[in-house]
Chain A
Amino acid sequence: MAGEPVPVAGSVPSTRLALWRRLREGEDLYGLAFLGPLTIGLLVFSYGPVLAAFYLSLTKGSYLVTPKWVGLANYSHALSDPVVWRALRNTAYYVVGTVPTGIVLGLALALAMNQQLHGIVFYRAIFFLPTITSSVAVAVMWAWMYNPDFGVINALLEVVGIKGPTWLASPRWAMPAIIIMSIWRGLGYDMLLFLAGLQGIPKEFYEAAEIDGAGTWQRFRHITAPLLSPTTFMIAVLATIGSFQVFEYSYVMTRGGPMYSTMTMVLLIFQRGFESAEVGYASAIAYLLFAVILALTLVQLRGQSRWVHYEL
């Protein structure tokens, strides 16, 4: 060991030998082996495409034609395209229809389940069935039920004396039909998350409240709701982000019709990008969607301090 420069804390190793020793001590080579594939994956499948998509959004071309630089033309075209605005509106309509309803119903179910703890495994399995089923199978299943002439939904409505609408064939009712189906599908998932949250609330709080004479509603308002707010917040954020990306229902059931009433952003991106090969335009719309989702998420994160309590 004589003759080798000893690295002093904070000094930069000035010889290759010292560098090699640093490398071996720090397990960096092992790090390369274990984290290498992931790094490659992140570059090739995540960050690379993100940057490429941005570049593409500033060009015009198809998959075979070399893209031509057009600057922000795609963006200005998108912002003045009525179909884009319709898709955005429809998507927002979908999100507003499914997320709050899902949260309220999911919470109600979780509260109910929390009381009746026997048979929970059985019910939990049933509630989960829609969630584990592919959205395509769900869409097909419901498409038949929604059929205006021989579908079971209108048949049941008939029994109660209501003449059901034409559902998926009606510009007014197609999106609500999808919303109902989507709520049905997501209930089990929301309920499960709320249940996990509920079961994390220490019983001592409730016992203390009872001793103090608090009623059921008061216990809910002052203990359950605040302590559950992190879970509620998380569900709201994730559900919003997820709902904005709705694609499969409208692709399978209506292809965006009737009359664009179920055209959603992702479906539009898909059609422009893969059916009419307007690669640049589709990328621009995708970035617009990204921006909307990001903005909404930030707003929600900011709003956290207002109503989310991380401790009582």
Chain B
Amino acid sequence: MAVATIRSRREAVTALLLKVLAYLLISATAASMIFPFYWMVSGSLKTEVEVFLVPPKWLPIPPQWSNYVYVLSSIHFARYTYNSLKIAVFSTAGVVLASSWAAYGFARVRARWRQPLFVVMLAAMMIPGQVTMIPMFIIMYRIGWVNSHYPLWVPAFFGDAFGVFLVRQYFLTIPQELLDAAKIDGCNHFGIYWQIMMPLAKPVLATLALLSFMGSWNSLLGPVIYLYDEQLFTLPLGLTAFRGMYVTYWAYMMAGATISVIPILVLFLFTQQYFVRGVVLSGLKG
């Protein structure tokens, strides 16, 4: 009996200790996550001189909103934002439409070569982008698409392996009886796809759209390979080029970085659950 009491008391102490430790870990990590963002924003609101202060000035007062005005107009960040947005929207539309289109083909259309093609598609997911980027560039060069936005969103309209996988999983859960009923009513596959499957698949499509948008908005490799005219730059590319030229204008750089982060941040805050689900699903695909 005595042994049991000692053990349970030790257990209780351990449990409490762990709870405290857990709380500390979470708080410390959360603080370390937020701090760089705070620092970036505060830096964006400092004057050129305040940026160099040692020890650093913690609160940017008075805030230099003019930095943002300058970055948006004179350094064309407004244009970069527009470019990023345009490419991301087109590319997302392509991924969502093309992936769900092919996913329906895999899920509910009884074509003979479905299974082998599916395996072939999955295998393609293993190919690292670095192997294909040079030949792709040559192809794009030959058709005259280098230095334009086309290479950054047109391929999306041919389907994305991960997207197809995701949507197909979802489509498979929609009961066949529903589709059979539609067929009896005279619907062909195209009608089923557009009028039944797509509306029902809104959650997974939302998740796919978000992941896709985020991927396109944040991407650097595509833009840096294909875009040469400064007018065509996207935000990440603009920021990188900016860093080359304005190495010491930290306040402007921080303003530029903040501008590139805000849209995706706002989107995230409103659609958190879809993002989270998307991340978990993308991990589970392995």
Which positions in A face B, CB cutoff 8 Å? 26-28, 30-35, 37-42, 44-50, 52-53, 56, 63, 108-109, 111-113, 115-116, 121, 123-138, 140-145, 149-150, 152, 155, 158, 184, 187-189, 192-193, 196, 213, 215-216, 234-235, 237-238, 241, 245, 247-248, 251-252, 265-266, 269-270, 273-274, 279, 282-283, 286-287, 289-290, 293-294
The 10 closest A-B pairs by CB, nearest first: A31-B111, A41-B158, A34-B105, A134-B218, A112-B22, A49-B132, A52-B135, A49-B135, A38-B102, A136-B236
Q: Residue A34 contacts which of B33, B133, B189, B276 (CB distance < 8 angstroms)?
A: B189
**CB proximity of A277 to chain B, nearest CB, Å:** 10
The secondary-structure label for the interface of chain A is helix
Q: Does B137 contact A (CB under 8 A)?
A: yes
Q: Which residue of B lies closest to A47 (CB)?
A: B124
Task: Determine the chain B residues whose CB is within 8 A of the CB of A144 once the complex forms.
Answer: 39-40, 43, 250, 253-254
A152 — which chain B residues lie within 8 A by C-beta? 39, 56
Q: Is B184 an interface residue when CB atoms closer than 8 A count as contact? A: no
Asked if B260 is at the interface of the complex by the 8 Å CB criterion, the answer is: yes
How far is it, in angstroms, between the C-alpha of A35 and the C-alpha of B211 when the chains are bound? 23
Decide: A35 and B111 in contact? CB cutoff 8 A. Answer: yes
Alpha-carbon distance A16/B64, docked complex (angstroms): 78
Residues A30 and B111 in contact in the complex (CB < 8 Å), given A134-B220, A141-B40, A192-B276: yes
Contact partner of A28 among B111, B132, B243, CB < 8 A? B111
Query: What are 15 contact pairs spanning A and B, CB under 8 A?
Result: A53-B132, A112-B22, A113-B22, A129-B33, A136-B218, A184-B33, A213-B7, A234-B283, A245-B129, A245-B130, A251-B220, A252-B220, A265-B130, A282-B134, A286-B134
For the complex, give the distance between the alpha carbons of A289 and B132 in Å: 12
Min distance, Cβ A18 to any Cβ of chain B, angstroms = 15
Q: Say yes or no: A34 contacts B54, CB within 8 Å.
A: no
Q: Is the CB of A129 within 8 A of B25?
A: no
Contact flag A141-B37 (CB < 8 Å), given A38-B158, A49-B131: yes
Q: How far is the CA of A266 from the CA of B25 in the complex (A)?
A: 35
* B286/A238 in contact, CB under 8 A: yes
Instruction: In the complex, identify which listed stretch (B68-76, B174-182, B198-206, B267-275) lies at the interface while the others stay far away.
Output: B267-275
- Enumerate chain B residues within 8 angstroms of A140, measured Cβ to Cβ: 40, 239, 243, 253-254, 256-257
Which residue, A41, A48, A184, A290, has most C-beta atoms of chain B within 10 A? Answer: A41
Given A28-B111, A31-B113, A286-B131, verify A126-B33 contact (CB < 8 Å): yes
The verdict on B85 contacting chain A, using a C-beta distance below 8 Å, is no
In the complex, are the beta carbons of B261 and A133 less than 8 A apart? yes
CA–CA, A32 to B134, complex, Å?
A: 30
* Tally of contact residues, B, Cβ under 8 A: 99
Known interface pairs A31-B114, A37-B101, A126-B34; 15 further A-B residue pairs with C-beta atoms within 8 A, sorted by A's residue number: A35-B105, A44-B158, A49-B135, A56-B135, A63-B138, A109-B29, A112-B23, A135-B236, A136-B218, A144-B39, A150-B53, A152-B56, A192-B276, A193-B280, A216-B15
Are B14 and A274 in touch, CB under 8 angstroms? no
Contact call B22/A155, Cβ cutoff below 8 A: no
Q: Is the CB of B30 within 8 A of A123?
A: yes
Q: Which residues of chain B (43-65) have a CB below 8 Å from chain A?
A: 43, 51-56
Q: Specify the chain B residue showing the minimal Cβ separation from A28.
A: B111
**Pairwise interchain contact A132-B264, C-beta atoms closer than 8 A:** yes
Considering the complex, which residues of chain B in the window 216-242 have a beta carbon less than 8 Å from any beta carbon of chain A? 217-221, 224-225, 235-236, 239-240
**Is the pair A41, B18 in contact by a Cβ cutoff of 8 Å?**
no
The answer to whether residues A45 and B21 also contact, given A27-B111, A38-B158 and a CB cut-off of 8 A, is no
- The answer to whether B110 touches A27 (Cβ under 8 A) is yes
- Nearest residue (CB) in B for A159 is B55
Closest to B52 in A: A150
Q: Are B128 and A245 in contact (CB under 8 A)?
A: yes
Q: How far is the CA of A243 from the CA of B233 in the complex (A)?
A: 26
Q: For the complex, what is the distance from the CA of A81 to the CA of B205, rounded to whole Å?
A: 47
Q: Give chain A nearest CB distance to B125 CB in angstroms.
A: 9
Q: Is B141 an interface residue (CB 8 A)?
A: yes
The residues of B that contact A26 with a CB separation of less than 8 Å are: 110-112
